[in-house]
Amino acid sequence: MKILLVEEQDAVAEPLTAGLRREGFSVERAVTAGSALEAGEADLVLIDLGLADLDGAIVCRSLRERIDAPIIVVSDRTSPDVGADDYVIRPFGIRELVARIRAVMRRTSTNGHGSPMSVDGLEVDERSRRAVLDGVELGLTPKEFDILAALVRDPGAVLSRRRLLEEVWQTTWYGSAKTIDVHVGALRRKLGDPGWIETVRGVGFRLRSP
């Protein structure tokens, strides 16, 4: 998997590149906005918006129009809405970043590169982050949407709590597992029928048509 890293500071880019390569990624670095826009194809873009030659938000939007690859903004502050697939706020560890990369790749590349997924009147579109049931859009929070998307990718299959923690919360800390039940409960209410999400005792959850 090839990552385009858009980062002008050597002190940031060099250890980040080394860490990503240790995790098995191929990394191409762009030091300027111009070189980023001229770079070859990549499977994912990591971009710091603080670029000297052009506003990073403009670069991000231009890359979105030019290449069909997910974009993760890496920043030391809350980032503006530039249409990125995820935002990672510094400081962060390489394991956290890799978890976020893999989660984004799963969301955007599964099932026909992000095409809508349908199960008996329930449609989930990960590109637009919209969930529609029988023609009515569900007002889901970001975490509720991510849980539903993870379940709908493989209807009927059991998804463990640990895997949900990794995919939705980007953590393996099992102490967070109780919050999954809270979000699943809210999601069931919004779906209008608790039968949509079945609890498999001691394991996790699965999606099924009620």
Whole-model pTM: value is 0.57
Question: Which pair of structure tokens corresponds to residue 172?
Answer: 């393996």
Indicate the domain borders of the chain: 2-99, 116-207
pLDDT value of residue 66: 84
CB 6 within 8 A of CB 28: no
In the predicted model, what is the mean pLDDT of the chain? Answer: 86
| Domain topology for 116-207 | Arc Repressor Mutant, subunit A (1.10.10)
Average pLDDT, integer, range 77-92: 77
Task: Report which secondary-structure segment, H or E, holds 86.
Answer: strand 86-89
Please state whether 102 falls in left (phi above 0), alpha (psi between -120 and 50) or beta: alpha
Chain segment 129-155, per-residue pLDDT in tens: 889 999 999 999 988 999 999 898 878
Q: What is the residue whose two structure tokens read 């048509």?
A: 209
With a pLDDT cut of 90, the percent of the chain lying above it is 41
Beta bridge partners of 71: 45
Chain segment 38-55, per-residue pLDDT in tens: 998 899 999 998 888 998
Tell me which CATH homologous superfamily contains domain 2-99: Response regulator (3.40.50.2300)
